[in-house]
Amino acid sequence: MFLLIREIKYFTNFNNKMYQFLLFFQPLMILSIVYFLKQVRGDINSDKFVLASALISMWSYVLYSSGSALISQKWNDTLKLLIAAPVSLFAVILTKALSNSVIALISMILSFIYARFIFQFNIGIANYGYFLLSIVVLIFSLSVVGLILAIVFVASQNVFDFQNLILTPMILLCGVFIPVEQFPVVLKLIAYLIPMTWGIKSVQDTLVLSPFMFSSMAVSIVVSLIYLFLAYFIVKKIEVVLRKTGSLGAI
């Protein structure tokens, strides 16, 4: 809990310019584009795009922050301290991934504030209780994805370049703009294997009070838990290899 609070304080501090754009300004940029595109064709339902703007900013933040969670320890020369610490590496990375997902929530809240008060968009939340529940589910799925990214990017020196490459495909695959149901079979299968797809589906379903919203949430939790267990064993393995050999991939 202490680490979680410290992380949130550090990343939301205005002196830390690394992620401020993603948290505070990216939603404004996307909403501005949506606002002017809406003028091209007036009869657009903007609710979906307000949520899309929030989800894009949340995902971008999680990708860049959690994706670099482990490799940045190498850059800052603090990885050896983490390995030597009495806390498991898994607990440290999970806390970071969790705190990053909670921080990403700021961009969602800001997206809604910008949408409502600057652009006069309708947000269209039918039931706030269910919506909050779906947000908790989304944060859990984002945390697990963040955890996996932290592990995957251990293999690469060009972390930021590869992060740029997966930013857009994930947004498109997870059904932010186009529902996954409309994808070709192969893409649909891949999309359903990503925990974030189900987290996003949960939020989208609660917005319209779909009869499938609880099943979406349940599937999201189950899929996320499977990845969480997988990640646990992989991080344990990484820890053992690092203690034994002192190096792994790019770290």
Partner 1 sequence: MILINKYGFTNLSYKAIYSFQTIRLFIFFRIVDPFMHYVFFATLASSLVGSDYLKYVVIGNIAYYTCQTIMINYMNMFRMERRYGTLELNIASPTPTLLIILRKGIVPLLDGLFVFIVGLIIGAILFDITMPSGNLDILLLLIIITLFSVICFSLLFASVSLLFSNANLFLNLSMAFFQVFCGVNFSVTLLPEPLEILARMLPLTHSIEALRSIYNLENYEVYHLLGKEILIGVCYLIVSVFLVSVMEKLARKNGALLKNI
Closest separation in Å from C-beta 122 to partner 1: 15
Judged by CB, which is closer to partner 1: 1, or 40?
40
Which span sits near partner 1 by CB under 8 A: 18-26, 194-202, 207-215, 222-230? 18-26
Taking the CA of residue 166 as centre, how many other CA atoms within 13 Å lie in the half-sphere pointing to its CB?
17
Decide: is 122 part of the binding site for partner 1 (CB under 8 A): no
Decide: is 118 part of the binding site for partner 1 (CB under 8 A): no
Closest separation in Å from C-beta 217 to partner 1: 25
Count the residues of the shown chain that bind partner 1, applying the rule CB under 8 A. 33
**Identified binder of partner 1 from the candidate list 4, 8, 12, 32, rule CB under 8 A:** 32
**Cα–Cα distance for residue pair 79/73, rounded to 1 Å:** 5
Q: Which of 141, 103, 167 is nearest to 228 (CA)?
A: 141
Burial track 189-217 (b if 16+ CB lie within 10 A, e otherwise): eebbebbbbbbbbbbbbbbeeeeebeebb
Decide: is 165 part of the binding site for partner 1 (CB under 8 A): yes
Ramachandran angles phi, psi of 174, nearest 5°: -85, 5
**Identified binder of partner 1 from the candidate list 6, 78, 91, 160, rule CB under 8 A:** 160
Closest separation in Å from C-beta 65 to partner 1: 14
- The label of the residue with tokens 């799925």 reads 141
- CB-CB contact of 151 with 231 (8 Å): yes
Q: Interhelix angle for 89-113 vs 213-245, to 10°? A: 140
Judged by CB, which is closer to partner 1: 35, or 227?
35
**211 DSSP assignment:** T
Which span sits near partner 1 by CB under 8 A: 37-45, 70-78, 191-199, 215-223? 37-45
Judged by CB, which is closer to partner 1: 129, or 181?
181
Q: How many residues does the chain have?
A: 251
Closest separation in Å from C-beta 45 to partner 1: 10
Q: Interhelix angle for 195-207 vs 213-245, to 10°? A: 150
Q: Which of 104, 133, 140 is nearest to 8 (CA)?
A: 104
Decide: is 131 part of the binding site for partner 1 (CB under 8 A): no
Which span sits near partner 1 by CB under 8 A: 3-11, 116-124, 133-141, 156-164? 156-164
Query: Could you give the angle at the alpha carbon of 100 between the alpha carbons of 210 and 204, nearest 5°?
Result: 10
**Identified binder of partner 1 from the candidate list 5, 75, 118, 177, rule CB under 8 A:** 177
Decide: is 181 part of the binding site for partner 1 (CB under 8 A): no
Residues in contact with partner 1 by the rule CB under 8 A:
17-18, 20-21, 25-26, 28-30, 32-34, 36-41, 44, 49, 52, 158, 160-161, 164-165, 167-169, 171-172, 177-178
